[in-house]
Chains A and B, each alone.
Chain A
Amino acid sequence: GNSVTQMEGPVTLSEEAFLTINCTYTATGYPSLFWYVQYPGEGLQLLLKATKADDKGSNKGFEATYRKETTSFHLEKGSVQVSDSAVYFCALLNTGGFKTIFGAGTRLFVKA
């Protein structure tokens, strides 16, 4: 079956530190991959996405590359800000499917 595994949190970083949140997936077929972000008190919102192998999604300084050979989609940012504190969800959607599979979420705290 399809599944997403992401690193457990919380992750605590100082402002301007480098961020990596690991995500690996299991899927039949060729899924699209997503990172969603949830700020306190809000719903999830799309951060970035990639639809095929070797694609790189990017937004607001965050990046993730679709690696089919390692079935991974790790999220990175070169310099985090306090405003990046949130919960980050890795997700996949199989081609032709409707059910997005979400990871458990990773909480990020950024200290000033």
Chain B
Amino acid sequence: DAGVIQSPRHEVTEMGQEVTLRCKPISGHNSLFWYRQTMMRGLELLIYFNNNVPIDDSGMPEDRFSAKMPNASFSTLKIQPSEPRDSAVYFCASSSNSESTDTQYFGPGTRLTVL
């Protein structure tokens, strides 16, 4: 299996620009998670989807952030407009509800720098 795929791996943009991060979960997994990792705040859960439906978005920082999952094999996280404080590594992870212990499989991450 190819694992969780994220693109781009690196993104540098200027403040005010729109940023779209993409994720392809492992085939057959029905749960998808978006995380943000920074030195100051550690690993934060932003949003969780189950069977393509957003279940919990309480971790989304503000209205500038939005996430979609139009089908079982694709999800996006959008930031509009971006700000320097959004600079972080963003991870996508997926898991299968059929596994008894819900191990999460992480992608390699997207390193976002907002200038």
On whether the beta carbons of A100 and B102 are closer than 8 Å, the reply is yes
Asked if B56 is an interface residue, CB under 8 A from chain A, the answer is yes
- Report A94-110 residues with CB < 8 Å from chain B CB: 98-100, 102, 104-105
On whether the beta carbons of A51 and B109 are closer than 8 Å, the reply is no
On whether the beta carbons of B101 and A98 are closer than 8 Å, the reply is no
Asked if B48 is an interface residue, CB under 8 A from chain A, the answer is yes
- Report A58-112 residues with CB < 8 Å from chain B CB: 89, 93, 98-100, 102, 104-105
B109 to chain A, nearest CB (A): 5
On whether the beta carbons of B93 and A43 are closer than 8 Å, the reply is yes
On whether the beta carbons of A89 and B43 are closer than 8 Å, the reply is yes
On whether the beta carbons of B104 and A100 are closer than 8 Å, the reply is yes
Q: When A43-B91, A46-B103 are in contact, do A99 and B42 touch as well, CB less than 8 Å?
A: no
> A93–B26 Cα gap in the complex (Å)?
20
Q: When A105-B42, A105-B43 are in contact, do A51 and B100 touch as well, CB less than 8 Å?
A: yes
- Give chain A's interface residue range (CB within 8 Å of chain B): 10 to 19
On whether the beta carbons of A49 and B31 are closer than 8 Å, the reply is no
- Chain A residues, CB < 8 A from B43: 44, 89, 102, 105
- Report B28-52 residues with CB < 8 Å from chain A CB: 31, 42-43, 45, 48, 50
- 3 closest pairs, A vs B, by CB? A43-B106, A44-B106, A32-B101
CB-defined A-B contacts under 8 Å, sample of 19: A32-B102, A34-B101, A42-B108, A43-B4, A43-B93, A44-B43, A44-B91, A44-B106, A46-B103, A46-B104, A49-B103, A93-B101, A93-B102, A98-B31, A98-B55, A99-B45, A100-B102, A102-B42, A102-B43
Binding site for B on A (CB under 8 A): 32, 34, 41-46, 49, 51, 89, 93, 98-100, 102, 104-105
